[in-house]
A and B are shown apart, each in its own frame.
Chain A
Amino acid sequence: MGIEIEKPCVVELSNIAVSNTHGEDSPYFAGWKAYDDNPYDELTNPSGVIQMGLAENQVSFDLLEKYLEEHSEATTWGKGVRNSSFRDNALFQDYHGLHSFRAAMASFMEQIRGERAKFEPDRLVITAGATAANELLTFILANPGDALLVPTPYYPGFDRDLRWRTGVKIVPIHCDSSNNFQITPEALEGAYKEAESMNTKVRGVLITNPSNPLGATIERSVLEQILEFVTRKNIHLVSDEIYSGSVFSPSEFVSVAEILEARNYKDAERVHIVYSLSKDLGLPGFRVGTIYSYNDKVVTTARRMSSFTLISSQTQHLLASMLSDKDFTELYIRTNRERLRKRYEMIIEGLRSNGIECLKGNGGLFCWMNMSPLLEKATKEGELKLWNAIIHQVKLNISPGSSCHCSEPGWFRVCFANMSENTLQVALERIRNFVDKIRTHTLTAGSN
């Protein structure tokens, strides 16, 4: 075959098509490439790269499988009494979503919060994943050029989800280790002023609770301060609570919903909650996300906009069955929490025995690891250098804090729920070897 010289394509594409606001060129995604090129496998590729950069929950998959095996009626069509079941489902074109599904989601969300907050099914808007939910809310709450305030460090995907198609900016609320990266009123005001100095209108604050990448819940007093701040500035609050079912101890998670209920929903029309089944239920492939808003206009508008991102009626039907089975959900939530806690303790202990400390976490699928003592230079470059070594020598894909916009270099997010316990042990062993090598090297270097 001869060399084909392709004529240059003359027809133009949009700015969005040629921009890189999708952020997929950042190191966060580059690490994944290393994994994709050489993925670890216990048997077939034991020296491959272990994926610890993907926040996926595989620890409770067996519970889901068992449920489906024992409850085949969840997946059947029109059997038994409900003969119209299929017709309703496949014909469904309504962006309201199946009522049975919304009711089941609402009840599941209530269970996770220990029934301390009530959710009404008619305020739930369905979306194909939390990614779409966050983007959709941004389209509704802010105009292009406006800003959302987001505490750092934050989930790298926000750069794309909140900014790319919406044209909205992110102004960081700087948090640091001096107080365990908690959000402070000063930091909130600081971010707001920073936006003002850029002549940018702030439309809201977006928090993740429990936080990604910190793996820690936000304290009640801090939530109250944030609520006070957004009320005073007359802006919105989006609370992304997709890890709410992955908090190790049920009493430690306080949802903004509980605070609003306790104060009889005063000023609630500015609050919106995002949830999804991708993390707590380990079903990211199902593409199930929701927006819960206390604002009627937001609910109506979001519902109309959800036409672009609906959940398949088959999936809604299946999950409606599963999530309204309270015995199952109770068992699942309890077991999942326990298993995650065990994993967390395992990795924390393993790291600690190598002299590596982590932020005290209480939820999520990852820990926030402090490797700053190992940095040659306490800079972003130093961090990326260390990260490179970890990817290519230690063969672990972890996420550098700089990709999460952390202001302090040396922190890394390490996921622990997407692998078997054996693999986790292998990862810890590799870290031990790496740390030993650095320490020996430093000692040797120091003694010259």
Chain B
Amino acid sequence: MTRTREPESKSKTSSPSSSSTGMKLIVPLQGVVQGRGGILLGSLIPCALFYFFQLYLKKRRRSNDKHPSSNPPSPSSSFPELPRTPSRSNLSSRGSLTGVRLSRLATTISDDDSAYYVGLNRASRDPYHKLTNPDGIIQLGLSDNTLSLDLIGDWMRKWGSGGDDGLSINGIATYQAFDGVDELKLALSDFMHQVMGGSVHFDTSNMVLTAGATPAIEILSFCLADHGNAFLVPTPYYPGFDRDVKWRPGVDLIPVHCRSADNFNLSMTALEQAYSQARKRGVKVRGILVSNPSNPVGNMLTQDMLYNLIDFAEDKNIHLIVDEVFAGSTYGSEKFVSVAEILESDSEYIDNRRIHIIYGLSKDLALAGFRVGVIYSFNKNVLATARKLCRFSSISAPTQRLVTSMLSDKKFIQDYFETNRNRMRQVHHEFVDALSKIGIKCAKSSGGMFCWADMSGLIKPYSEKGELELWEKFMSIAKINITPGSACHCIEPGWFRICFTTMSLDEIPLVIERIRRVVEVCKFSS
């Protein structure tokens, strides 16, 4: 039995008449105005009264038309809405809308057509496959790491079903603590200790676990700021922050622009400026949000910079949120420094209650599907609230058990990290090299899963418009999905984020060839 699922056309109920209804109303209105002539105001009020009176009569006529014995389901475009929608254009177009309204937030979300999401959608509809769809779109817009997924797969095949005992649901079927079971917290604390350089101790009582880092950021936003407040965020930034911080918490993101001349490193002057400008506009800044290693650039915050940020937060009495989801995905020569390391070494002088860390397993362990995120905070009130809020975003119990088991396999974790780091380093090096051979330079990066590529020489005009046109060329000619800098709020047009961790070494030539196609086209047309 087949059935179409198109939204039922509302026009069948009343739309054909609604435009002529409009006319019927306007004509008497004109008549009254003309009849009265003279003073505009004297004629407007009676016109308005007459207008509403007509509609009232129309409404009464409609309900009288129905059978008096049953309660008729009125067509969704009936008039009870009138006081709330006085504009005539709504009346005439109502027939074509689904009648019942959604919230303002829902409209914002469904209207969201940023290149980030459009690209993901198009790529998923025509996905590249070496054998079955060699001309499909290669997805380089999603920071996933498949370079070492074979290792994870092997582990899963051996141990993922609970080993010889099989998967037991004893003890995990019932309600668990919403903020995560203790065993997983312990395992994560150990894991984070390893990942962040082996010098920081993470206390499980400072942890709240969430279904991925995405709700972790959202929950922190709910805890630290009110609707209409703002966080300062260096650009370019991860497009997902717009969703995580703005949608439901209603917190604004004020960009602090970083420039290629500084390799997109944050300047404290720019931060100060952005803060005072916000203050002048009457916006209450509640915190700074940074990612380290940074997404999309891939650079890391130096120890000095971290101290500067902490001092800044102290001085302004605001929060500092550091998203460290890529902490374990470093391949460069720089050493990653977690803000937790600084806090641990300087605990007497710094009030750590204003500093919060986001972490998760989607990047460093390639387990995005499992939804494992962490809020790490020293602020008891934040933790108490976050614990209550994570009931809306808890990790599935069998997954908690499985991940605990994996993280506790220290040898496996060690092997994974070493192998993964080597593979990332190799692919990154090859890819950046190959890009430069076709004239595309990348910003210096030492972590994350992407190259931040300078294509400004290929765009015309030198603007967001030119950038998006180039993005379209990549999508339709090269058939690769990469993320345009404007989606990351980059102030300089022409930069693109290209994820390199979904390519194997031997796929690099194919990708480079496709990119080269676009480079040629651009050179030819200029």
Interface SS of chain B: loop
- The answer on a CB contact under 8 Å between B369 and A89 is yes
What residues of chain B lie closer than 8 Å to A77, measured between beta carbons? Answer: 153, 156-157, 160-161
With A265-B8, A287-B395, A305-B109 known to touch, is A78 a contact of B173 (CB < 8 Å)? no
- The answer on a CB contact under 8 Å between B102 and A298 is yes
B491 to chain A, nearest CB (A): 27
A345 interfacial contact with B, CB 8 Å: no
Of A38-46, A215-223, A228-236, the one with at least 4 CB within 8 A of chain B: A228-236
Query: How many chain B residues have a CB neighbour from A under 8 Å?
Result: 92
- The answer on a CB contact under 8 Å between A14 and B223 is yes
With A72-B167, A77-B157 known to touch, is A284 a contact of B173 (CB < 8 Å)? yes
- The answer on a CB contact under 8 Å between B224 and A287 is no
B362 interfacial contact with A, CB 8 Å: yes
Q: When the two chains form the complex, which single residue of B1, B100, B397 contacts A235, counting CB atoms closer than 8 Å?
A: B100
Of the candidates B74, B112, B153, the one having the most CB atoms from chain A within 10 angstroms of its own CB is B153
- Complex CA gap A267/B77 in Å reads 11
- The answer on a CB contact under 8 Å between B396 and A312 is yes
A165 interfacial contact with B, CB 8 Å: yes
Closest A residue to B385 by CB, please name it: A17
A159 to chain B, nearest CB (A): 13
B119 to chain A, nearest CB (A): 14
A307 interfacial contact with B, CB 8 Å: yes
B16 interfacial contact with A, CB 8 Å: no
A88 to chain B, nearest CB (A): 9
- The answer on a CB contact under 8 Å between B385 and A141 is no
What residues of chain A lie closer than 8 Å to B176, measured between beta carbons? Answer: 285
Of the candidates A7, A94, A231, A287, the one having the most CB atoms from chain B within 10 angstroms of its own CB is A287
What residues of chain A lie closer than 8 Å to B212, measured between beta carbons? Answer: 307, 310
Closest A residue to B172 by CB, please name it: A285
Of the candidates B103, B109, B229, the one having the most CB atoms from chain A within 10 angstroms of its own CB is B103
Within 251-304 of A, Cβ neighbours of B (below 8 Å) are at 265-270, 282-288, 295-298, 300-301, 304
B110 interfacial contact with A, CB 8 Å: yes
- Complex CA gap A301/B109 in Å reads 6
- The answer on a CB contact under 8 Å between A17 and B223 is yes
A11 interfacial contact with B, CB 8 Å: yes
Say which size band chain A's interface belongs to.
35 or more
Closest A residue to B158 by CB, please name it: A77
What residues of chain A lie closer than 8 Å to B519, measured between beta carbons? Answer: none
A61 interfacial contact with B, CB 8 Å: yes
B490 interfacial contact with A, CB 8 Å: no
Chain B 201-219: CB-based contact to A (< 8 A → 1; otherwise 0)? 0000000000110110010
With A236-B100, A309-B211 known to touch, is A79 a contact of B368 (CB < 8 Å)? no
With A9-B381, A78-B157, A308-B393 known to touch, is A14 a contact of B225 (CB < 8 Å)? yes
Of A126-134, A373-381, A393-401, the one with at least 4 CB within 8 A of chain B: A126-134
B38 interfacial contact with A, CB 8 Å: no
- The answer on a CB contact under 8 Å between A231 and B76 is yes
What residues of chain B lie closer than 8 Å to A235, measured between beta carbons? Answer: 100
Within 1-52 of A, Cβ neighbours of B (below 8 Å) are at 7, 9-18, 22, 24
Closest A residue to B388 by CB, please name it: A22
A124 to chain B, nearest CB (A): 13
Of A313-321, A384-392, A424-432, A438-446, the one with at least 4 CB within 8 A of chain B: A313-321
- The answer on a CB contact under 8 Å between A266 and B73 is yes
Of A63-71, A103-111, A354-362, the one with at least 4 CB within 8 A of chain B: A63-71
What residues of chain A lie closer than 8 Å to B317, measured between beta carbons? Answer: 10-12
B498 to chain A, nearest CB (A): 18
B196 interfacial contact with A, CB 8 Å: no
A81 interfacial contact with B, CB 8 Å: no
- The answer on a CB contact under 8 Å between B398 and A286 is yes
- The answer on a CB contact under 8 Å between A16 and B105 is no
- Complex CA gap A232/B215 in Å reads 37
A76 interfacial contact with B, CB 8 Å: yes
B316 to chain A, nearest CB (A): 10
B267 to chain A, nearest CB (A): 24
What residues of chain A lie closer than 8 Å to B167, measured between beta carbons? Answer: 68, 72, 74-75, 318
Q: When the two chains form the complex, which single residue of B156, B218, B229, B396 contacts A308, counting CB atoms closer than 8 Å?
A: B218
Q: When the two chains form the complex, which single residue of A68, A266, A287 contacts B394, counting CB atoms closer than 8 Å?
A: A287
Within 168-202 of B, Cβ neighbours of A (below 8 Å) are at 168-170, 172-176
What residues of chain B lie closer than 8 Å to A295, measured between beta carbons? Answer: 7, 98, 100
B389 interfacial contact with A, CB 8 Å: yes
- Complex CA gap A64/B168 in Å reads 10
Contacts between the two chains (Cβ within 8 Å), count: 279
A328 interfacial contact with B, CB 8 Å: no
What residues of chain B lie closer than 8 Å to A61, measured between beta carbons? Answer: 173
- The answer on a CB contact under 8 Å between A14 and B393 is no
With A56-B175, A308-B215 known to touch, is A300 a contact of B369 (CB < 8 Å)? no
- Complex CA gap A144/B156 in Å reads 45
With A87-B149, A309-B211 known to touch, is A9 a contact of B379 (CB < 8 Å)? yes
- Complex CA gap A144/B222 in Å reads 15
A385 to chain B, nearest CB (A): 29
Q: When the two chains form the complex, which single residue of B243, B389, B397 contacts A286, counting CB atoms closer than 8 Å?
A: B397
- Complex CA gap A136/B106 in Å reads 10
- Complex CA gap A298/B100 in Å reads 11
What residues of chain B lie closer than 8 Å to A87, measured between beta carbons? Answer: 146, 149, 153
What residues of chain B lie closer than 8 Å to A312, measured between beta carbons? Answer: 211, 369-371, 395-396, 398-399
- The answer on a CB contact under 8 Å between B369 and A140 is no
What residues of chain B lie closer than 8 Å to A406, measured between beta carbons? Answer: none
A110 to chain B, nearest CB (A): 12
- The answer on a CB contact under 8 Å between B106 and A298 is yes
With A93-B368, A286-B396 known to touch, is A10 a contact of B214 (CB < 8 Å)? no
- Complex CA gap A203/B105 in Å reads 14
- The answer on a CB contact under 8 Å between B146 and A91 is yes
A135 interfacial contact with B, CB 8 Å: yes
A176 interfacial contact with B, CB 8 Å: no
With A11-B317, A139-B103 known to touch, is A90 a contact of B149 (CB < 8 Å)? yes
B149 to chain A, nearest CB (A): 6
Closest A residue to B319 by CB, please name it: A11
- The answer on a CB contact under 8 Å between B161 and A75 is yes
A43 to chain B, nearest CB (A): 18
B124 interfacial contact with A, CB 8 Å: yes
B104 interfacial contact with A, CB 8 Å: yes
A29 to chain B, nearest CB (A): 11
- The answer on a CB contact under 8 Å between B396 and A307 is no
- The answer on a CB contact under 8 Å between B74 and A231 is yes
Chain B 374-385: CB-based contact to A (< 8 A → 1; otherwise 0)? 000001011001
With A75-B162, A128-B392, A228-B71 known to touch, is A301 a contact of B5 (CB < 8 Å)? no
What residues of chain B lie closer than 8 Å to A234, measured between beta carbons? Answer: 74, 76, 78, 80-81, 99-101
- Complex CA gap A65/B173 in Å reads 10
- The answer on a CB contact under 8 Å between B99 and A91 is no
- The answer on a CB contact under 8 Å between A228 and B73 is yes
What residues of chain B lie closer than 8 Å to A10, measured between beta carbons? Answer: 317, 351
- The answer on a CB contact under 8 Å between A90 and B392 is no
- The answer on a CB contact under 8 Å between B156 and A78 is yes
- The answer on a CB contact under 8 Å between B156 and A86 is yes
- The answer on a CB contact under 8 Å between B109 and A284 is no
A122 interfacial contact with B, CB 8 Å: yes
Chain B 338-382: CB-based contact to A (< 8 A → 1; otherwise 0)? 000000000000010110000000100011111100000001011
Top 4 A-B pairs ranked by shortest CB distance?
A313-B369, A285-B397, A92-B369, A312-B399
Other than A11-B319, A91-B366, give 16 A-B pairs with Cβ distance below 8 A: A14-B224, A17-B224, A74-B167, A90-B368, A122-B5, A203-B101, A234-B76, A270-B76, A282-B173, A286-B396, A287-B394, A287-B397, A297-B98, A301-B106, A309-B392, A314-B399
A–B complex contacts, Cβ < 8 Å, 23 sampled: A17-B222, A17-B224, A18-B381, A54-B175, A93-B362, A128-B211, A128-B393, A128-B396, A165-B222, A234-B74, A234-B81, A234-B99, A234-B100, A266-B8, A266-B73, A282-B173, A283-B169, A285-B176, A287-B211, A295-B100, A296-B5, A305-B248, A311-B371
